[in-house]
Each structure stands twice: as C-alpha cells, then as structure tokens.
Amino acid sequence: MNNEKLIADAAVFVRTSMTGEGSHDWFHIERVWKMSRHLAQAEGGDPLIIELAALLHDLDDWKIRPEHDSASKARAWMVSECLEKSTIDHVQEIIEDLSFKGAGVPTPMKSLEGKIVQDADRLDAMGAIGIARAFAYGGSRHRALHDPAQAPTAHSSFAQYKQNAGPTLNHFYEKLFLLRDLMNTATARAIADSRHTFMQTYVSRFLSEWDAADISEIHDQEENP
Ligand code: NI
C-alpha cells in the first residue's frame, strides 16, 4: 500500500474513533496533523512516521481514557495494516513519550519525528485555540474557571499531575505558560512566541475582569477623558 493511501486510511480510522469533547476531538487531531506537516517542511524528518504519529497520538490518551497508559489502540491499527515493525515501534514510542506529564517531569523525545509531533501537539494547547481547549476540558470535568483561594501547583510527578482537579486558570501556570520554553524546534518556537504573548494578554484581562478592575479603568477614562 502506498503511503498516501495509508495516511488517508489512518485519518478515516481516527476520525471515526475520536469520542472526546472539544479539547480532544478529531479537529484537534486534524490541526496537529496539519501543523506537523508544516513543521516537517522546515525541519525535515520522515513524513510517514510524522503523519502517523500525529494522527494516532491521542487514541489512547490518559486524559480521555484513564485506563490506558500506552499506545495499544494505535499499535493494533498499525499491526492490522501490516506496517513494518520498525515503523510501528517508532510511532508507538513517539505516542508514549509525547504527553506533558507535569511541570517538573521532563519528557525528552528521542527522534526528530517525535520532536516535531510533540511541538505540534503543544502548539495546539497554546494561543486562542489553547485557551478554548483548556476551558472546554475543565468544563467537561466540572472545574471552576478560577478560584483565587487555590494557588497553582508545580507538579513534580506524572501521578500528581494526573490527580490535579484545580480550576482551569491554574492550568495556564501549571502547563500552558511553560510550553513556549519546551519547544524542540526553532520553527515551532517562533509560532509559540506569538501564541504565548496572546495567552498572557488574555489571562491578565481575565484577572482584571474577575476583580472588575476593568470597570474602574472605564470610570477613569470617563472622568479624565
Ligand atoms: Ni493531542
């Protein structure tokens, strides 16, 4: 089977398998797939490995299916397509190494292909889309938007990070603001810079509205035009 047909089949399989809410649905996969191809154009790497890992990376995600920690569903599909063992092993390794496991838990990627897909996945957690996904995920877990009494935590183990049930605004400090400096490739870092700045602006505006500080700003403008 040629690679183009294989990738198209993978896309169909994943589209029909993704059952997560807005933060982890087919459109997340599609964006990560597209971004991975964009990064690969500038950074290189084996396109087949990159596209398969991008497409299959969230099939067994622990956030969606906490009972799965490994890439078993992705592996089963690749085996059923009779892919070479080296391809299957490489894609599975990327999927297992990929996810963010807490502020103090390093997750180094072993290959350029892995670095690219990890960057693409992390870029989708940043910027306007990243903000929307964070609140969609928090909402699906009935979390508060923000709670000034609960300080963010720098999780030092994956087990601790998985237990986290804090308000969604803390997620910016516990993960989203850390992503820019974790980018593997220069191409992704440039995109991350702009998405990072947008999130900072958003959070500072959020906190200002939380305390209705924006109202006093409007009053000030009315009194001192
Ligand atoms: Ni993902």
Distance 57 CA to ligand 1 centre (A): 6
pLDDT in tens, 40-77: 999 999 999 999 999 999 987 655 555 555 568 899 99
Distance 69 CA to ligand 1 centre (A): 14
Phi and psi for 184 in degrees, rounded to 5?
A: -85, -35
Distance 95 CA to ligand 1 centre (A): 10
Distance 181 CA to ligand 1 centre (A): 18
The amino acid sitting at 8 is A
Q: Is the pTM of this model over 0.75?
A: yes
pLDDT at residue 20 in the model: 81
pLDDT at residue 165 in the model: 77
Reference 121, options 176, 71, 165, 76; nearest CA is 176
Distance 212 CA to ligand 1 centre (A): 35
- Report CA dihedral (83, 73, 114, 185) to the nearest 10 degrees: 130
- Rg of the chain over all Cα atoms, to the nearest angstrom: 19
Distance 144 CA to ligand 1 centre (A): 23
Distance 125 CA to ligand 1 centre (A): 8
CA distance 120 to 191: 10
pLDDT at residue 215 in the model: 79
pLDDT at residue 158 in the model: 77
- Report CA dihedral (30, 92, 82, 2) to the nearest 10 degrees: 40
Distance 124 CA to ligand 1 centre (A): 8
Distance 216 CA to ligand 1 centre (A): 40
Distance 206 CA to ligand 1 centre (A): 25
CA distance 153 to 209: 23
Distance 215 CA to ligand 1 centre (A): 38
**Ranges in the chain, pLDDT < 70:** 1, 61-71, 217-225
